[in-house]
Structure 1
Amino acid sequence: MNLKKIILSRTDAIGDVILTLPLTAYLKKVFPETEIIFLGKDYTKDIIENCPFVDSFISWDAIEKNAVSEFQKINADAILHIFPKSQIAKAASKAGIPIRVGTSHRAYHWNTCNRIISFSRKRSDMHEAQLNFQLLKGLDINYIPELEEFKDINLIEPKQELREDLKEILNNGKFNLILHPGSKGSAREWGVDRFAELIKLLPKSKIQIFITGTKKEGLLFRKDLVVPFPDVVDLTGLLSLKDLMLFIKNCDGIVAESTGPLHIGSVLGIHAIGIYPPIRPMHPGRWAPIGKKTKVFVKEKKCSDCRKSGRCKCMREIASIEVADYITAL
């Protein structure tokens, strides 16, 4: 198959985007001369542009109002709708992109895509990074990799240097650990009190702790995670995504729920320690970090109690001492 340009469309969150990057690496291996174009949201640009397997980034925010003409200018041979979005599917169809691959589980794909792939993400036992490969069937490729294959690939290679003021707060004599307690509602949360317990249990003589998150999140948990602990450094609301990515790269570990920063840490090769619920489809079988130095804490049981409430008792059962013991043993 002679493909000069392939568009990968994924306009959702940071973690989802990162778990799509193994697909870019595989496509570059199979089609080394093909231009891999990633269509994403502006706020994921710094991640995508630092992936060595992506040739160019297209902002959906920038082209949304003139998507048909912009797609025609790109003149791609194929588009894979990894994160289904009806507006993008319709625009790609009107633009006449020759190969348009979508899942059968979106009704609008039947009118806008000419290669329909039937699979269910919610019901699958596959990891999200593997599920993305299902769409390659639309390019006549039938291959699902093992998760181990992703661990030796440098999916993000930041070209920029960390800001000097951020370099200065790192402690070269200690294990620099990021705690990222919030999820902006994208994941079940362990609880601010559990993170506070973790801070108390970690030895100050060996571990330097940094708190990251949005400005709004900082206002919510600063009194519990920063004020009582003078050695903790509060970075909430102070970092752009680029700054956060580079700071994570220069740290030794991160503890978070199933969020973008956890996945950033995992592919940058630091210790990525995730706190997960057992409920499907949020469980680590679907969303675990994929790097070499990853650890997931989850209660191994079938449970759906939090499906309506949003508060996960199973995550609350993960004791802070379990996490602290793991970190201190690193």
Structure 2
Amino acid sequence: MTPRHIIISRTDSIGDVILTFPLLGLLKKQFPDVKITFLGQNYTRPVILACSHVDFFLDWSEMQGHSMETRITLLRSMEADVILHVFPRKEIARLAHKAGIPVRMGTTGRIYHWLHCNHLIKLSRKNSPLHEAFLNILLAEKLIGRPEISDGDIPGLYGFDRIAKLPEEFAALIDPVRFNLILHPKSKGSAREWGTDNFATLSALLPRNMYKIFVTGTKAEGDLLIQEGFFDKAGDFTDLTGKMSLEKMISFILAADGLIAASTGPLHIAAALGKTTLGIYPPIRPMHPGRWAPIGKRASFLVSEKECSDCAEGGPCRCMLDISPKQVQQKLFSMVNSDLI
């Protein structure tokens, strides 16, 4: 089939959304005239609208405030012929069915997809060895087949290039000579963390004649960093916690040179923007880098090379905490130096 208008339903987090963009890139490559609507959460709107593969944005947060009849009317008005449930939600699957979207695609792993989808894909994310970006692509197999692509092809498929201009107050902070490095220590609970002390030690280790350090996060995360002693141990840095909207954060990452974080949204933003990106990961599935590593022209990761499940029930990850700041510093140096060659 040749679709005219596809709705991509992905109502979860920033990193998940970013790793769906390569699928959109392949859809646009296969069907150059297709329109793509992205159904997502309001807080991911700036990320979604920065992708040039997206023609329209539907705010699920707003739609939830309306009656079922209003939602059906809105979805019908899109005149979409395909909806792809990348992130499964029962209420959206039911809504798409009621709205009469002709092709409704979802995985066999959700019972409600058997009721509300008419094209089922046998795919288990939990047991797959594949990266999230490739799992997303497999969901559209009935539309685009199984394209032969590798990690090296993914950066060219993001379409993450519709970036707002950075306001002068933040642009003026960028050093024209030194390497502008963003440290993003916290994750809002979305990922295992490397630890405040490790980030502070890393910051103190980096020579300031070579690096200008920025620290980002929400205001609440900034307050927590103060409580945990980061500001006392990290040396000279520019504190940007709580000072930027997500849209400005995207623009600032584009203006900077690199970013270090755990498996968070900003890490995947940096990778998609082609920045020097270093992720710090636990070895435990399904949080391991095999599934969630940043993929980009200058992206890499560190992970303890051992089988471990000690933190399976939550709490600090010893395997991550055991990755030393010196190891991260050396990995960063090698990445930066390879960029200069």
- TM-score, structure 2 as length reference: 0.93
Q: Deviations over 1:145-203 (max 9, x none)?
A: 32221123452113421110101111112110000000111100010010011011111
Cα offset for 1:119? 1.1
Of 320-329 and 105-114, deviating more is: 320-329
- Residue 10 of structure 1 aligns with an amino acid whose one-letter code is R
Aligned 1:28-177 pairs, distance under 5 A: 28-64=28-64, 65=66, 66-139=70-143, 141-143=145-147, 145-153=149-157, 155-177=159-181
Distance in structure 2 (CA, Å) of the matches to 1:123 and 1:206: 43
Of 131-140 and 264-273, deviating more is: 131-140
In the other structure, the counterpart of 1:190 is 194
Contact 2:22 2:137 in 1 (8 A): no
Following superposition, which runs of at least 4 residues in structure 1 exceed 6 angstroms of deviation?
none
Cα offset for 1:137? 2.8
Of 61-70 and 261-270, deviating more is: 61-70
Contact 2:182 2:215 in 1 (8 A): yes
Q: Paired residues, what number? A: 330
What secondary structure, in the 3-state scheme, does the structure 1 residue paired with 2:105 have? strand
In the other structure, the counterpart of 1:241 is 246
Of 143-152 and 169-178, deviating more is: 143-152
Cα offset for 1:140? 6.5
Distance in structure 1 (CA, Å) of the matches to 2:144 and 2:31: 13
Cα offset for 1:62? 2.0
Distance in structure 1 (CA, Å) of the matches to 2:63 and 2:219: 29
What secondary structure, in the 3-state scheme, does the structure 2 residue paired with 1:310 have? coil
Contact 2:113 2:120 in 1 (8 A): yes
Cα offset for 1:55? 1.2
Q: Deviations over 1:60-91 (max 9, x none)?
A: 11223232121111110000000001110000
Change (3 A) 1:154 1:87: closer
- Residue 269 of structure 1 aligns with an amino acid whose one-letter code is G
Distance in structure 2 (CA, Å) of the matches to 1:154 and 1:117: 23
Cα offset for 1:231? 2.1
**Residues 1:328 and 2:330 are matched in the alignment:** no
What secondary structure, in the 3-state scheme, does the structure 1 residue paired with 2:140 have? helix
The unaligned stretches of length 5 or more in structure 1 are: none
- Sequence identity percentage: 47
In the other structure, the counterpart of 2:320 is 315
**Residues 1:290 and 2:330 are matched in the alignment:** no
In the other structure, the counterpart of 1:210 is 214
**Residues 1:22 and 2:26 are matched in the alignment:** no
Match of 2:185 among 181, 204, 207: 181
The unaligned stretches of length 5 or more in structure 2 are: 337-341
In the other structure, the counterpart of 2:339 is none
Distance in structure 2 (CA, Å) of the matches to 1:142 and 1:162: 38
Contact 1:151 1:290 in 2 (8 A): yes
Change (3 A) 1:256 1:201: same
